[in-house]
Chain A
Amino acid sequence: MSERIDVLIIGAGPAGVAAGIGARREGAERVVVLERDWDLGGILQQCIHPGFGLRTFKEELTGPEYMHRFIQQAHEAGVEFRTNTMVFQIDRENNTVWTMNKERGIEALNPSAIVLTMGCRERPLGAIRIPGTRPAGIYTAGTAQRFVNMEGYMPGKRAVILGSGDIGLIMARRMIWEGASVEGVYEVMSWPGGLRRNIAQCLDDYGIPFHLKTTVTRIHGQDRLEGVTVAQVDDYMTPIAGTERYVECDTLLLAIGLIPENELSRMAGVDIHPVTGGPVVNDLLQTSNPAIFAAGNVVIVYDLVDNVSDEGLIAGANAAKFAAGKITSAMRIPVKGGENVRLYSPQFVTGEADSTIFMRVTHPVETACRVFAVTDDGTELYSQRLRYARPGEMNEVRIKADKVKASPNISNITIDIQPV
């Protein structure tokens, strides 16, 4: 049999490092975090701009600074890390985790509990099927960010950015600060994908044009990208004839969305939610496989790393409890999304502890509104007034355990945001 591990965590990004801390604090003896890179910290190591951890640390840190603090805490808590170690398979029959490492070769691990913290990946160009050629110079914003911030290379001199996700906005400013030019940011929706402050401080500060309801309709260039055609779109996202414009550029950066990275979760046989793309979880962050927990962007793509770390702490602690035989319960009361809810997580509430449901609206509400949770027997579990609700900004529904316990007969909970 392989070595004894109480809680095995897959991925040492913000969720995984926090899960390690959470598991140790809960008393798990051997907590091991596996990381495929040589370095800990995951994607935050390349997010060198400030904007992380205001809620947790009361100051805005850069990605590496934020992770530095958590990694120190993890070391102090006695979390074990294995870098350059990739998990390439999880067997669903017995939760065997297969790892590879150049020194240790291929190994099988059989932990008592697993926490999935693999994060997310970027939607590639193929997902949006832009016609044209396939030259060099088209990157997801995160790939370009790695080249610039970790490898010290420039992907191009003259960039167009498609999509207004935060990484794209941040990369616009980053390119400017390296002496490149940015021709414009094009967003197919009628609202920005990223935070408004990033539009202000990354685009407006440098006079970078931001075009809503506009997309790239054609890619030009054989070897290296030479330009793109952009066009306005109608309400059905169909390009409007006559609005096409050629924009010369040598680089196209894509910030068109993030997808939870769940290949291992699928192998492990945990249920994947069709809308979030992440594992279905309850508020203990336990998946449909009771020994497997999940936290962070692998579950649902968060706006703030503070939330990712918080969820990591919860998942790690509950995985430790599971390893110690203190919890067994899987899914409990199902949560349903109301009319203007695009996605949310967790999808089940156990009532064993206070919990937070994270959600995004489908359509922006630009007037005063209310986010709430109500049970099928009409009991209001939560209600909070909001000035607005926007798809690009997550909303939180906080559920008190005692309120759930006080209504033992509820069979589901509905969450929604409605104008007041």
Chain B
Amino acid sequence: MYDIVIIGSGITGSSIARQLSKYKLRIAVIDKASELPAGASRANSSMIHGGFDDKPGTMKAKFCVPGNKLWHRLKDTLDVHLDECGSYVCAFNDDEVRHLEVLLQQGKANGSPGVEIISGDKMREKEPNVSPGIVAALWSPEAGIINNFEAVNAMIESAQINGAELHLETVATGLITEGGNVRGVSTSKGDFLAPIVINAGGVHSGEIASWAGDTSFRIIPTKGEYFLLDRSTGGTITSFLFSCPSKAGKGVTVLRTAEGNLMAGPTATEQLDPEDRSTTPEGLAEVLKGARRLVPNFPVNMNITTFAGVRANTESGDFEISALKTPRGFVNVAGIKSPGFTSAPAIAEYIAELLQEEFADLATFAPNEKFIPEHRNIPRFLYMDMAGRKALAENDPAYAQIVCRCETVTEGQVLEAIRRGARTVSAVKMMTRAGTGRCQGGFCCPRVAEILSRELGIPLDQITRHGGESRLLVGKTKEFLLKGAV
């Protein structure tokens, strides 16, 4: 029996879980994934938006600027990489310059600090590799780029430290109600009973809402494809570059990730399947074209991977956040897409207030005096000074053993990730960056798999890439021959 069950542990669900763990509540977060982040929080532009892009009066406008401010604080509290690099919206012609004016006014109305329009030449003083065709740009100094893998894991770990439970590989299958009241969620791992259920189901949030009889909105799964380049390309630009948006989305952006990789994307392709994260020739071509428009010498030959995410677009274009009248206790935090990552901590604060206003009779919101706001990330050997590295290695020799040579990740970090719940190769990757570098796990994947096998006491051929049936290996050598399976 819980007070609150949260479906989905993306940035929205995990931020809400952490915020609610400031109260003495029994909280369960369930997610069908084997590792975090999984859905839209895993594959996106990892942008902390400045807050000029959203129409005043919308939910997005309401949460984006406050969310941005919260992240600038949370980055230290949660120990998450946030590159406070600012962003540019680039205009190539008069029409686009007029669009910058609109954005500037929106930014001012939304309270986005420091937004201004600068000339293309002024922009090129700071970003010499951008197109000479850019005539003006909207500069947003408060925008930033976050390490989204770290952010989601930090958020959910912080919630767990403060008492929330995380249940992975737990598929929500239905809502349990009784007499117009929520009683819990049925899942692949049994019923999770609670009087309050929060739908933070991302691309599945429309379907989950329909369990509660709410069909007022529909999720339009929208694929975004990306290129990720070698870290040595990070000097090409130092901030986040937007194209002027079109109806389809914000247009292709080029950015330098918090870890220093050049990245470009996304596309915005509507599709029926919320789980189709395959890249396409058309999508990749579109991204490349858009990237080259912003950065003519975009060094695509240094590409190390392509990927796609599916975001939860809505017909209204806005977030769908509401507490239903019936069944009572059901709360939608649905349709969270860009600027969802930015907004998440602000949405979480809002939800905590909303629950106390609406459902004070369903749960007791007594402050958790033992709440620990601080979270420490797994030590990041790559970024430490030599004295720090030596101290770490002296304390634990596992930190004197490199596992991933591209990103200088030590065995100590991998062991710590496993201690914090990593069960798959890609969970280790997202928690430590082992395998995110230029060889894309060619060197470290077997080593990470061996460590997982050893630490978890699971045979090597049962270790998966990302859960489910994604086993890395199919058996031992000689087995096919001895079984006569030629």
Cβ of B119 within 8 Å of any chain A Cβ, yes or no, is: no
Contact (Cβ within 8 A) A154 B479: yes
- Residues in A neighbouring B461, C-beta threshold 8 A: 153
Write the B48-78 contact mask toward A (1 if CB under 8 angstroms, else 0). 0000000000000000000000000000000
Contact (Cβ within 8 A) A124 B304: yes
Within 8 A of A (CB), among B454-469: 460-461, 464-469
Contact (Cβ within 8 A) A136 B465: yes
Stretch at the interface among A15-23, A101-109, A292-300: A101-109
Contact (Cβ within 8 A) B474 A250: yes
- Residues in B neighbouring A103, C-beta threshold 8 A: 397
Within 8 A of B (CB), among A84-115: 84, 86, 88, 98, 100-106
Distance in angstroms from A263 CB to nearest chain B CB is 7
Which of A121, A139, A179 gathers most chain B CB within 10 Å?
A: A179
Say whether chain A's binding surface is mostly helix, strand, loop, or mixed: mixed
Within 8 A of A (CB), among B110-164: none
Distance in angstroms from A222 CB to nearest chain B CB is 8
Task: Report the Cα distance A38→B83, complex, angstroms.
Answer: 38
Give chain A's interface residue range (CB within 8 Å of chain B): 35 or more
Contact (Cβ within 8 A) B394 A105: yes
Write the B380-410 contact mask toward A (1 if CB under 8 angstroms, else 0). 0000001001100110011011100110100
Contact (Cβ within 8 A) A121 B398: no
Contact (Cβ within 8 A) A224 B406: no
Task: Report the Cα distance A147→B471, complex, angstroms.
Answer: 13
Within 8 A of B (CB), among A128-180: 129, 131-137, 139-140, 142-143, 146-148, 151-157, 178-180
Q: Which residue of B lies closest to A254 (CB)?
A: B442
Instruction: Name the contact of A223 in the complex, choosing from B460, B470, B473, B477 (C-beta under 8 A).
Output: B470
Cβ of A126 within 8 Å of any chain B Cβ, yes or no, is: yes
- Known contacts being A121-B439, A124-B439, A143-B445, is A155 close to B480, with CB within 8 Å? no
Cβ of A36 within 8 Å of any chain B Cβ, yes or no, is: yes
- Residues in A neighbouring B281, C-beta threshold 8 A: 131, 217
Instruction: Name the contact of B304 in the complex, choosing from A102, A126, A178, A218 (C-beta under 8 A).
Output: A126
- Residues in A neighbouring B272, C-beta threshold 8 A: none
Within 8 A of A (CB), among B266-292: 275, 277-281, 283-284
Distance in angstroms from B392 CB to nearest chain A CB is 9
Cβ of A248 within 8 Å of any chain B Cβ, yes or no, is: no
Contact (Cβ within 8 A) B475 A154: yes
- Known contacts being A127-B304, A147-B446, is A154 close to B473, with CB within 8 Å? yes
Distance in angstroms from B409 CB to nearest chain A CB is 11
Q: Which residue of B lies closest to A153 (CB)?
A: B473
Cβ of B305 within 8 Å of any chain A Cβ, yes or no, is: yes
Contact (Cβ within 8 A) B402 A88: yes
Distance in angstroms from A313 CB to nearest chain B CB is 26
Q: Which residue of A lies closest to B382 (CB)?
A: A88
Q: Which residue of B lies closest to A180 (CB)?
A: B480
Instruction: Name the contact of A133 in the complex, choosing from B278, B408, B450, B477 (C-beta under 8 A).
Output: B278
Instruction: Name the contact of B442 in the complex, choosing from A122, A154, A179 (C-beta under 8 A).
Output: A122
- Known contacts being A131-B284, A136-B464, is A224 close to B470, with CB within 8 Å? yes
Within 8 A of A (CB), among B213-250: 227-228, 232
Which of A105, A124, A136, A155 gathers most chain B CB within 10 Å?
A: A136
Cβ of B486 within 8 Å of any chain A Cβ, yes or no, is: yes
- Residues in B neighbouring A61, C-beta threshold 8 A: none
- Residues in A neighbouring B389, C-beta threshold 8 A: 106
Contact (Cβ within 8 A) B406 A153: no
Contact (Cβ within 8 A) B400 A101: yes
Write the A201-244 contact mask toward B (1 if CB under 8 angstroms, else 0). 00000000000000001110011100000000000000000000
The 3 closest A-B pairs by CB, nearest first: A179-B480, A126-B305, A136-B465
Query: What are 25 inter-chain pairs, A to B, with CB distance below 8 A?
Result: A98-B386, A121-B439, A122-B442, A124-B441, A126-B306, A129-B284, A131-B279, A131-B281, A131-B306, A132-B278, A133-B278, A136-B464, A136-B472, A143-B443, A143-B446, A151-B450, A153-B475, A154-B473, A154-B475, A155-B473, A179-B486, A223-B467, A223-B468, A224-B471, A263-B405
